[in-house]
Chain A
Amino acid sequence: MSRLLLRGGRLVDPASRHDGTADVLVEDGRVVEVGSGLDGTGAEVVDCDGLVVCPGLVDLHVHLREPGREDAETIETGSRAAALGGYTAVCPMPNTDPVADNAGVVEMVAARGREVGLVEVFPVGAVTLGQRGSELAELGAMARSAARVDCFSDDGRPIREARLLRLALEYARAFDAVIADHAEDASLTDGAQMHEGEVSAMLGLAGWPAAAEEMVVARDLLLAELTGGRLHLCHVSTAGAVEVVRAARARGVRVTAEAAPHHFTLTDEAARSYDPVFKVNPPLREKADVEAVRLGLADGTLDAIATDHAPHAREDKEVEWATAPPGMLGLETALAVTLTELVEPGYLDLAVAVERLTVGPARCRRVSGHGGPVAPGAPANLAVFDPAAVWTVDRARLASRARNTPFHGRQLRGRVVHTLLRGVFTVCDGQATR
Chain B
Amino acid sequence: MQKHLLSAGDLTAGDIARVLDTAAHLAKVTDRAIKKVPTLRGRTVCNLFFEDSTRTRISFELAAKRLSADVINFSAKGSSVSKGESLKDTAITLEAMGVDAIVIRHGASGAPWRLAEWVQAVVVNAGDGTHEHPTQALLDLYTMRQRFPSFDGLKVAIVGDVLHSRVARSNVLALTTMGAEVTLVAPPTLLPARVETWGVAVSYDLDAVLPKQDVAMMLRVQLERQRAGFFPSLREYARLYGLDGRRLDAMADHAIVMHPGPMNRGVEIAAEVADSIERSVIADQVANGISVRMALLYLLLGGPEVTT
Alpha-carbon gap, A323 to B85, bound state (A): 10
Q: Which of A196, A204, A205, A274 has the most CB of B within 10 A?
A: A204
Q: Mark B203-220, 1 if CB is under 8 A from A, else 0.
A: 000000000000000000
Q: B84 in the interface, Cβ–Cβ < 8 Å?
A: yes
Choose one: A201, A274, A318; the contact of B192 (CB below 8 Å): A201
Q: B169 in the interface, Cβ–Cβ < 8 Å?
A: yes
Residues of chain A with a CB closer than 8 A to B83's CB: 315-316, 319, 323
Given A198-B194, A204-B128, A204-B132, CB of A323 within 8 Å of CB of B110: no
Residues of chain A with a CB closer than 8 A to B192's CB: 201-202
| B193 and A319 form a contact (CB under 8 A) | no
Q: Mark B167-180, 1 if CB is under 8 A from A, else 0.
A: 00100000000000
Q: B88 in the interface, Cβ–Cβ < 8 Å?
A: yes
| A323 and B80 form a contact (CB under 8 A) | yes
Q: Which of A203, A207, A316 has the most CB of B within 10 A?
A: A203
Alpha-carbon gap, A204 to B85, bound state (A): 22
| B80 and A204 form a contact (CB under 8 A) | no
| A321 and B109 form a contact (CB under 8 A) | yes
| A319 and B131 form a contact (CB under 8 A) | no
Residues of chain A with a CB closer than 8 A to B195's CB: 201
Alpha-carbon gap, A193 to B111, bound state (A): 14
| A196 and B110 form a contact (CB under 8 A) | no
| B85 and A203 form a contact (CB under 8 A) | no
Q: B113 in the interface, Cβ–Cβ < 8 Å?
A: yes
| A203 and B193 form a contact (CB under 8 A) | no
Q: B129 in the interface, Cβ–Cβ < 8 Å?
A: yes
Give the nearest-CB partner of B113 in chain A: A274
| B88 and A318 form a contact (CB under 8 A) | yes
| B169 and A320 form a contact (CB under 8 A) | no
Residues of chain A with a CB closer than 8 A to B111's CB: 274, 320
| A274 and B88 form a contact (CB under 8 A) | no
Residues of chain A with a CB closer than 8 A to B129's CB: 204-205, 322
| B87 and A319 form a contact (CB under 8 A) | yes
Q: Mark A189-217, 1 if CB is under 8 A from B, else 0.
A: 00001001110111111010000000000
Q: What band does the interface of chain A fall in when counting residues whose beta carbon is under 8 Å from B?
A: 20 to 34
Residues of chain A with a CB closer than 8 A to B106's CB: 320
Which residues between 387 and 422 of chain A lie within 8 Å of chain B, taking CB atoms? none
Residues of chain B with a CB closer than 8 A to A207's CB: 193
| A203 and B84 form a contact (CB under 8 A) | no
| A322 and B80 form a contact (CB under 8 A) | yes
Q: A16 in the interface, Cβ–Cβ < 8 Å?
A: no
Q: A41 in the interface, Cβ–Cβ < 8 Å?
A: no
| A203 and B131 form a contact (CB under 8 A) | yes
Residues of chain B with a CB closer than 8 A to A318's CB: 88, 114
| A315 and B85 form a contact (CB under 8 A) | yes
Residues of chain A with a CB closer than 8 A to B87's CB: 319-320
Residues of chain B with a CB closer than 8 A to A205's CB: 109-110, 129-131
Choose one: B84, B107, B109; the contact of A274 (CB below 8 Å): B109
| B193 and A196 form a contact (CB under 8 A) | yes
Residues of chain B with a CB closer than 8 A to A320's CB: 84, 87, 106, 108-111, 114
| B110 and A203 form a contact (CB under 8 A) | yes
Alpha-carbon gap, A273 to B114, bound state (A): 8
Alpha-carbon gap, A315 to B195, bound state (A): 35
Choose one: A197, A274, A275, A321; the contact of B193 (CB below 8 Å): A197
Alpha-carbon gap, A230 to B111, bound state (A): 44
| B197 and A321 form a contact (CB under 8 A) | no
| A197 and B194 form a contact (CB under 8 A) | yes
Which residues between 165 and 207 of chain A lie within 8 Å of chain B, taking CB atoms? 193, 196-198, 200-205, 207
Which residues between 6 and 55 of chain B lie within 8 Å of chain A, taking CB atoms? none
| A204 and B113 form a contact (CB under 8 A) | no
| B194 and A323 form a contact (CB under 8 A) | no
Give the nearest-CB partner of B128 in chain A: A204
Alpha-carbon gap, A18 to B85, bound state (A): 53
Q: B66 in the interface, Cβ–Cβ < 8 Å?
A: no
B5 to chain A, nearest CB (A): 16
Residues of chain A with a CB closer than 8 A to B193's CB: 196-198, 200-201, 207
Residues of chain A with a CB closer than 8 A to B259's CB: none
Residues of chain B with a CB closer than 8 A to A201's CB: 192-195
Give the nearest-CB partner of A196 in chain B: B193
Residues of chain B with a CB closer than 8 A to A319's CB: 83-85, 87-88, 114
| B169 and A204 form a contact (CB under 8 A) | yes
Q: Mark A307-334, 1 if CB is under 8 A from B, else 0.
A: 0000000011011111110000000000
Question: Can you give 27 contacting A-B residue pairs, CB < 8 Å?
Answer: A198-B197, A201-B192, A201-B194, A202-B169, A202-B192, A203-B110, A203-B131, A204-B110, A204-B166, A205-B109, A205-B129, A205-B131, A273-B113, A274-B111, A274-B114, A275-B114, A315-B85, A315-B88, A319-B87, A320-B84, A320-B87, A320-B106, A320-B111, A321-B110, A322-B107, A322-B108, A323-B80
Hey, which bits of chain B sit against chain A, CB under 8 A? Answer: 80, 83-85, 87-88, 106-111, 113-114, 117, 128-132, 166, 169, 192-195, 197-198
Hey, which bits of chain A sit against chain B, CB under 8 A? Answer: 193, 196-198, 200-205, 207, 273-275, 315-316, 318-324
